[in-house]
Amino acid sequence: MPQTNLITQIHTPHKAVAFTFDDGPHPTYTPMLLDIFREAQGKATFYMIGEQIEQFPELATAVYEQGHEIGNHTYSHPFLTELSDEACREELIRAEKLIEAITGTIPATFRPPYFNIDERVTAIAAELGYVKIAGAANGEARDWEQPGVQHIVDATRESLSSGSLLIFHDGYGDRSQTIEAVRILVSELTAEGYKLVTVSELIALADEAETSGR
């Protein structure tokens, strides 16, 4: 049976991390993030919900055109383990088609809403080509609960190292705390020499290191 382990850390000798943003695109917060990453000359991965892409297709296109990655976060953000096989598959496929229409390619990874996944859902995802399922190293930051900018920053710092996948949210509710926390973290990490890359780029760096025997 497929394993249900989520990727939280990529083993790489490179000083690089992947910022990821769930539940967008959002007309207020996604553009703010694009500005932050443009100024830092970094890239991020946006795990978008299909329903949000349908509402804001131009924004999803802007994310892609600025060099960021779009990952699959399902069509309507359900608890996948509570769905039938057919409904689960449909959630992934509907979102995938919307992303493919914008990017011209099928998304490389997906993140299950609420990190809700089991062996059955993993098997369905694998059938569709999703063998890399994104988790997060900084889950304790819990930015979705709006715990305060300092908490988000501190909890992320504590869990961060080269190769970390970091989760934040640009959709659903007030994300102003997240924006400020990300602004601080991006500034700190770039000053420390970290490269801000997409999830696929981070995986590629690890593959490259493995191939070269480093």
Residue pLDDT, tens place only, 42-59: 999 999 999 999 999 999
Sketch the domain layout of the chain as residue ranges: 16-212
**Enzyme catalytic residues:** 22, 169
**Residue range 11-32: mean pLDDT, rounded:** 96
- Higher pLDDT: 209 or 85? It is 85
Other beta carbons within 10 angstroms of residue 1's beta carbon come to 8
- Over residues 87-107, the pLDDT tens digits come to 999 999 999 999 999 999 999
Q: Which amino acid is at 22?
A: D
What pLDDT digit, counting tens, does each position of 140-186 carry? 999 999 999 999 999 999 999 999 999 999 998 999 999 999 999 99
- pLDDT score of 1: 39
Query: CA 76, 80, 82 angle in degrees (round to 5)?
Result: 115
Q: Which residue carries 């892609």 as its tokens?
A: 64
Instruction: State pLDDT tens for residues 185-212.
Output: 999 999 999 999 999 999 998 766 455 4
Which pLDDT score is estimated for 131? 87
| 112 pLDDT higher than 60 | yes
* pLDDT given for residue 207 in this prediction: 65
Give which of 13, 16, 21, 43 is closest to 198, Cα–Cα.
Answer: 43
Instruction: Please give the DSSP secondary-structure letter assigned to residue 90.
Output: H
- Beta bridge partners of residue 16, listed in sequence order: 195
Q: Which residues lie closer than 8 Å to 191 by C-beta, 6 or more apart?
A: none
Residue 4's pLDDT is: 62
CA 8 to chain centre: 11
pLDDT of residue 155: 97
Q: Considering only 60-64, 97-101, 130-134, 192-196, which range has the smallest mean pLDDT?
A: 130-134
Residue 26: pLDDT band with limits 50, 70, 90: very high
Task: Read off the pLDDT of each residue in 134-139 and give the average, rounded to a whole number.
Answer: 95
16-212 folds as TIM Barrel (3.20.20)
Q: Tell me, what's the pLDDT at 5?
A: 75
DSSP state of 133: B
10 Å CB burial of residue 78 (0-12, 13-18, 19+) is middle
**Rounded to an integer, what distance in angstroms lies between the CA atom of residue 22 and that of residue 105?**
19
- On whether the CB atoms of residues 177 and 145 are closer than 8 A, the answer is no
